[in-house]
Amino acid sequence: MMQEIQSVFRREDEFLECERQHVFSILIFVAGFYGAYTYTVRGGVFCNAQTANFVLFAMALGNAHWTKALYFLIPMSAYLLGAIISESIAEPMRRLRVIRWETLLIIIEMVTVIILGFIPDSAPYQITQVAINFIASMQYTTFRQAEKVPMATTFCTNHLRQVGIAIVKVCKGNDNGIYRRRLSIHGRMLLFFTLGGVASAALCRFFSGRAIFFALIPLLILLIDLLYADLKTDKPDLTSDLS
């Protein structure tokens, strides 16, 4: 227990910038934006995770709708590919010792958003859906812990579970400060996801498919933050990673 307490309350300067809580708050805000965007103007689906697609895939198989079942393999495969690429590229990027994979991923995500913003509203929804499947998977695979607390930046299920656990622990007095902090962290993640969805839904009413361009604002803020860290504050750690 003592080791867990020390891990949770680790000094702030011992964390890389890409591990900071504010980075994860921005990422989940953007994820909420994507979710509302694809649901509102790109086919009425959520592309940040794949549970629903697996259910629909299973139902199609059970009903002998083979063509429909094959269709669901497309977003599922895009998500799988995103995870494979993220896991494969991270170490080679560290070896280059220029910028971190986390920073490059934000650049890739911004380029993807720009491309999607220029896609006409009349284009097949699947283009946007698969692209967001792909970048959501890379984001989920890459950003895993915020200051030693396991996190998901693309969906809310675990955050909601952790809030419930923390409430019970705090009410029972089994706390030592750990669960109050986790309640705050996971509650904030739920709030930022919701705010991202609210912003997206409101903007989609006025800008339709072009609304995704507004996701570039938080992503640009995050890119500047991570680039500065890679080139300045976290540079010694980056260059000594594989020494």
pLDDT in tens, 15-69: 889 999 999 999 999 999 999 999 999 988 889 989 989 999 999 999 999 999 9
**Per-residue model confidence (pLDDT) at position 97:** 76
* Predicted confidence band of residue 92 (pLDDT cuts 50, 70, 90): confident
Per the CB < 8 A criterion, the answer to whether 36 and 201 are in contact is: yes
Q: Give the least confident one: 77-91, 106-120, 215-229.
A: 77-91
**Measuring CA to CA, which residue among 233, 175, 224 is closest to residue 26?**
224
DSSP 242: T
Per the CB < 8 A criterion, the answer to whether 186 and 166 are in contact is: yes
CA distance 109 to 111: 5
Per the CB < 8 A criterion, the answer to whether 29 and 189 are in contact is: no
Per the CB < 8 A criterion, the answer to whether 189 and 25 are in contact is: yes
Parallel, antiparallel or unpaired: strands 149-150 and 145-146 = antiparallel
Look at residue 7 and tell me if it is in a domain: no
More confident residue, 134 or 95: 134
CA distance 229 to 7: 23
pLDDT digits (tens, 9 = 90+) for 144-163: 999 889 999 999 999 999 99
234: domain range? 22-149+197-240
Q: What is the mean pLDDT of residues 202-209?
A: 96
What is the token pair recorded at 74?
């497309």
Quote the crossing angle between the two packed helices 101-117 and 66-96, to the nearest 10°: 140
Q: What is the mean pLDDT of the chain?
A: 89
Look at residue 92 and tell me if it is in a domain: yes
**Cβ neighbours of residue 210 under 8 Å, at least 6 residues apart?**
117
User: Residue 17: what residue type?
Assistant: E
Look at residue 174 and tell me if it is in a domain: no
* Predicted confidence band of residue 4 (pLDDT cuts 50, 70, 90): very low
CA distance 81 to 74: 10
User: What are the CA-CA distances from residue 87 to residues 75, 92, 137, 160, 206 (Å)?
Assistant: 19, 10, 11, 26, 38
* Predicted confidence band of residue 13 (pLDDT cuts 50, 70, 90): low
**Per-residue model confidence (pLDDT) at position 148:** 87
CA distance 186 to 139: 18
3 state SS of 146: strand
Look at residue 225 and tell me if it is in a domain: yes
**Cβ neighbours of residue 204 under 8 Å, at least 6 residues apart?**
36, 37, 40, 41, 211
**Per-residue model confidence (pLDDT) at position 5:** 43
Query: Does the pTM of the predicted model rise above 0.75?
Result: yes
| Structural domains in the chain (count) | 1
CA distance 158 to 176: 22
**Measuring CA to CA, which residue among 135, 147, 64 is closest to residue 105?**
135
Res. 2: pLDDT tops 80 = no
Q: What is the mean pLDDT of residues 3-26?
A: 72
Look at residue 8 and tell me if it is in a domain: no
**Per-residue model confidence (pLDDT) at position 232:** 86
What is the token pair recorded at 220?
């640009």
Res. 6: pLDDT tops 70 = no
* Predicted confidence band of residue 105 (pLDDT cuts 50, 70, 90): very high
* Predicted confidence band of residue 91 (pLDDT cuts 50, 70, 90): confident
Look at residue 158 and tell me if it is in a domain: no
Look at residue 186 and tell me if it is in a domain: no
